């Protein structure tokens, strides 16, 4: 899909997912079904520091700082993400929902809860109960899934009882037993975009 098409079709709340596309991952795929290795939520024309930024941005986790015990969350220009995606396939899941004032207020609240004053880091406190201060590499790799499930639960698109702290990439696969079930909205099947 050309980037011009993406700008026209993508909207706030859409999900972007990545699967490795290397020789090794292709070989492993002969024996198993490879899962998503990364993902994030699209934010269109976000307001940051009282200024609107034009375009598409992706809210996603990028790193874990052990010293500060924080997951780094970035709102990255999606054009950069798209252009720099070389060894991964990129998928899009369109979110059909009502994007009204309540939707954007809930999104702002959720984003405020997880970001620091510089809008760059996610506090580990909201996940620490689950991990009991024992962060493993596996947990760091799944932090993006936890973030996405948290945002969707905060938006009221997943049931309030959703245990988003236990989110794993399989939950964002379509047609799997672990797939999340949205209410008041539909998350379309994934479409390969790059």
Given this model, what pLDDT does residue 135 score? 47
pLDDT surpasses 80 at 43: yes
Q: Which pLDDT score, from 0 to 100, does residue 123 have?
A: 45
Domain range for residue 120?
A: 3-192
Using DSSP's 3-state secondary structure scheme, residue 155 falls into coil
* Average pLDDT of the residues of the chain: 81
CATH number of the domain to which 170 belongs? 3.90.1720
Nearest alpha-carbon partner for 160 in 116, 106, 115: 106
- For residues 31-49, average pLDDT: 83
Q: How much is the pLDDT for 33?
A: 62
* pLDDT one-digit tens code per residue, 92-151: 999 999 999 999 999 998 888 777 544 444 444 445 434 444 445 445 667 888 899 999
In the prediction, which pLDDT does 121 show?
A: 43
pLDDT at 83: 94
Q: What's the pLDDT tens digit per position in 63-80?
A: 766 666 667 788 899 999
Residues 6+ apart with CB under 8 A from 156: 102, 106, 183, 184
CB atoms within 10 A of CB 20: 17
pLDDT band of residue 167 (cuts 50, 70, 90) is confident
The pLDDT value recorded for residue 89 is 92
**Number of compact structural domains in the chain:** 1
Q: What is the pLDDT of residue 50?
A: 78
Query: What is the rounded CA–CA span in Å between residue 173 and residue 186?
Result: 14
Handedness of CA 171, 16, 49, 67 (dihedral sign): positive
Tally of residues, the chain: 194
């Amino acid at each position: 899909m050309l980037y011009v098409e993406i700008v026209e079709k993508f909207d706030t709340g859409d999900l972007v997912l990545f699967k490795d596309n290397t020789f090794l991952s292709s070989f492993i795929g002969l024996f198993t079904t490879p899962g998503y290795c990364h993902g994030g939520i699209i934010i269109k024309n976000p307001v940051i520091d009282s200024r609107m930024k034009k375009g598409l941005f992706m809210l996603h986790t990028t790193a874990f700082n052990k010293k500060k015990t924080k997951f780094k969350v970035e709102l990255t220009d999606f054009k950069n993400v798209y252009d720099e995606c070389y060894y991964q396939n990129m998928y899009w899941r369109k979110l059909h929902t009502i994007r009204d004032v309540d939707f954007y207020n809930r999104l702002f609240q959720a984003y405020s809860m997880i970001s620091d004053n510089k809008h760059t880091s996610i506090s580990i406190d909201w996940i620490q109960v689950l991990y009991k201060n024992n962060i493993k590499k596996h947990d760091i790799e799944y932090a993006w899934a936890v973030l996405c499930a948290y945002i969707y639960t905060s938006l009221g698109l997943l049931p309030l009882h959703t245990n988003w702290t236990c989110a794993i990439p399989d939950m964002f696969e379509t047609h799997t037993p672990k797939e999340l079930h949205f209410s008041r909205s539909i998350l379309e099947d994934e479409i390969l975009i790059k």
